[in-house]
C-alpha cells in the first residue's frame, strides 16, 4: 500500500468496478502523483468486492452523483461497458471532473462527437484509455521514428489473434458493445499503428467480418468473464481489413476472438523507406553498408496502465498536453465505424 497521500496527488474515482478496474486500482495505489479516493459501481457489491480485494481502504460510493459531488475526487476513470461510456462521460463532465475514458470512446461517431463537445463545453481534461500507446516498447519504437530512422512510413500491419478467447456477457451483444474483436481488441492495435505512423488522415477502408465459429465456451480455454451478464452473441468473431490514408499510406489488420490460427498476442509492424520496426519483442530492421541488420530495442517492463494514469495526472496538473486526447479516440471511432459499415455492405467506405 502507498503511504501518506501527497497534496499534489491527483485523486481519482473509478466508475465501474469490473475487470479493467482491477488494472487501474493497483496503478492508482502504486503510481506516482496519483491516488484513488473512491469506487462506484451501479451494482454496489462489485465496488465492495473490489475494495476488499485491495485492502478495504477505499471509500465506496453508492450513487454516481454522490461520487461526482465529492470534493475529494478530481478525476474519474470511466470503466463501464461501452454503451455506458457516453452517459457517464456526460455526467462526469457536467460535474466538472476530469475523465479518463476506457476504450473505445463510444459506439457511434455521432455520440463520439457529442462527447468531445461535452469535454470542451464543461472545460474538463480528458484522455482515452488507449493504454498500448504507453507501452515501453511503443516509446522505444517512437524514439526511432522521431530520430528519422524509418524515413517515410508507407505501410503498417497488425494482428491480434485469439484462437479462442471470446469474452462473455455484454461484449458479444452489439447493442451494448458496438461490435466484437475489432472494437474490443483491434482498437488498441489499429490505434497504436496509426499513432506510430504519425496519425495520418484516414480516407477509405475495406473490411471483412466473420462469425464463422461463434463457439464461445470451448473446453480448456480460460474465458474473460464480463461482470455484466448477457446471452446475446451477434457480433463478428474475426475482422480483417485495410485502412488507407490521405498520404497514400496503408494499415492492414486482423483481430479475432475465435479463429483456427495460432495465437498472436500483438503483432505490430511499421514499414518505412529507410527502416522498419516490429514490436513484441521490439526490433529495428535496416539496410546498413554491411547489409540488412536487425537490432533489439531496450525496453523496460513498466506497466502501461500505471504509466497512462501518471501521464494523465500531469495533463490534469497542466504540465503537458495529453498523449491520447479524446479527439484521437474520435478519429479511431471513425475508422472502426467505417470498417463495420464496409463489412456490412461489402464495399469500400470513404471516411469524410
Ligand X SMILES: NC(=O)c1ccc[n+]([C@@H]2O[C@H](COP(=O)([O-])OP(=O)(O)OC[C@H]3O[C@@H](n4cnc5c(N)ncnc54)[C@H](O)[C@@H]3O)[C@@H](O)[C@H]2O)c1
CB nearer to ligand X: give 145 or 159: 159
Among the candidate windows 78-86, 116-124, 215-223, 312-320, which touches ligand X by CB under 6 A?
A: 78-86
**Residue from the set 31, 38, 81, 275 that interacts with ligand X by CB under 6 A:** 81
Closest residue by Cα to residue 165 from 84, 120, 222: 222
**Residue from the set 131, 259, 315, 338 that interacts with ligand X by CB under 6 A:** 131
**Residue from the set 19, 63, 215, 280 that interacts with ligand X by CB under 6 A:** 19
For cell 501521464, name the residue. Answer: 311
Please tell me whether residue 135 binds ligand X under the rule CB under 6 A.
Answer: no
**Residue from the set 10, 35, 37, 46 that interacts with ligand X by CB under 6 A:** 46
**Contact by Cβ (8 Å): 268, 156:** yes
| Strand partners for 100 | 77, 127
**Residue from the set 12, 13, 18, 194 that interacts with ligand X by CB under 6 A:** 18
CB nearer to ligand X: give 228 or 236: 228
Among the candidate windows 6-14, 15-23, 133-141, 339-347, which touches ligand X by CB under 6 A?
A: 15-23
Among the candidate windows 1-9, 36-44, 118-126, 232-240, which touches ligand X by CB under 6 A?
A: 36-44
Q: Least CB distance from residue 90 to ligand X, whole Å?
A: 11
φ/ψ of 74, rounded to 5, equals: -95, -35
Please tell me whether residue 39 binds ligand X under the rule CB under 6 A.
Answer: no
**Intra-chain end-to-end CA distance of the chain, in Å:** 49
CB nearer to ligand X: give 132 or 331: 132
CB closest to ligand X, residue no:
18
Q: Which of residues 218-247 bind ligand X (CB under 6 A)?
A: 226-228
Site size toward ligand X (CB under 6 A) is 25
Please tell me whether residue 181 binds ligand X under the rule CB under 6 A.
Answer: no
CB nearer to ligand X: give 60 or 153: 60
Please tell me whether residue 82 binds ligand X under the rule CB under 6 A.
Answer: yes
Please tell me whether residue 15 binds ligand X under the rule CB under 6 A.
Answer: yes
Q: Least CB distance from residue 258 to ligand X, whole Å?
A: 18
Q: Least CB distance from residue 227 to ligand X, whole Å?
A: 4
Amino acid at each position: 500500500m502507498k503511504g501518506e497521500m501527497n497534496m499534489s496527488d491527483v485523486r481519482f474515482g473509478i466508475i465501474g468496478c469490473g475487470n479493467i478496474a482491477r488494472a487501474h486500482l493497483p496503478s492508482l495505489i502504486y503510481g506516482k502523483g496519483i491516488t484513488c479516493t473512491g469506487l462506484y459501481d451501479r451494482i454496489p457489491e462489485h465496488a465492495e468486492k473490489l475494495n476488499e480485494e485491495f485492502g478495504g481502504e477505499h471509500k465506496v460510493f453508492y450513487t454516481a452523483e454522490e461520487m461526482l459531488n465529492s470534493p475529494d475526487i478530481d478525476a474519474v476513470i470511466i470503466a463501464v461497458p461501452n454503451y455506458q461510456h457516453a452517459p457517464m462521460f456526460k455526467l462526469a463532465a457536467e460535474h466538472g471532473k476530469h475523465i479518463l475514458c476506457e476504450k473505445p470512446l463510444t459506439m457511434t461517431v455521432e455520440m463520439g462527437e457529442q462527447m468531445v463537445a461535452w469535454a470542451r463545453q464543461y472545460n474538463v481534461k480528458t484522455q482515452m484509455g488507449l493504454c498500448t500507446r504507453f507501452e515501453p516498447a511503443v516509446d522505444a519504437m517512437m524514439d526511432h521514428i522521431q530520430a528519422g530512422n524509418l524515413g517515410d512510413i508507407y505501410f503498417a500491419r497488425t494482428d491480434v489473434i485469439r484462437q479462442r478467447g471470446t469474452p462473455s456477457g455484454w461484449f458479444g451483444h452489439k447493442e451494448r458493445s458496438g461490435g466484437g474483436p475489432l472494437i474490443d481488441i483491434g482498437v488498441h492495435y489499429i490505434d497504436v499503428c496509426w499513432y506510430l505512423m504519425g496519425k495520418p488522415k484516414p480516407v477509405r477502408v475495406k473490411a471483412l467480418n466473420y462469425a464463422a465459429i461463434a463457439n464461445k465456451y470451448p473446453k480448456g480455454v480460460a474465458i474473460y468473464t464480463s461482470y455484466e451478464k448477457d446471452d446475446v452473441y451477434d457480433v463478428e468473431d474475426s475482422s480483417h481489413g485495410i485502412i488507407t490514408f490521405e498520404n497514400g499510406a496503408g494499415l492492414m489488420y486482423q483481430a479475432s476472438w475465435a479463429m483456427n490460427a495460432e495465437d498472436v498476442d500483438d503483432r505490430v509492424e511499421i514499414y518505412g523507406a529507410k527502416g522498419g520496426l516490429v514490436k513484441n519483442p521490439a526490433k529495428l530492421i535496416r539496410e546498413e553498408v554491411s547489409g540488412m541488420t536487425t537490432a533489439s530495442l531496450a525496453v523496460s517492463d513498466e506497466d502501461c496502465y500505471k504509466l497512462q494514469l501518471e501521464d494523465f495526472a500531469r495533463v490534469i496538473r497542466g504540465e503537458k498536453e495529453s498523449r491520447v486526447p479524446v479527439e484521437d479516440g474520435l478519429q479511431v471511432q471513425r475508422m472502426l465505424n467505417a470498417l463495420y459499415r464496409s463489412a456490412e455492405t461489402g464495399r469500400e467506405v470513404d471516411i469524410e
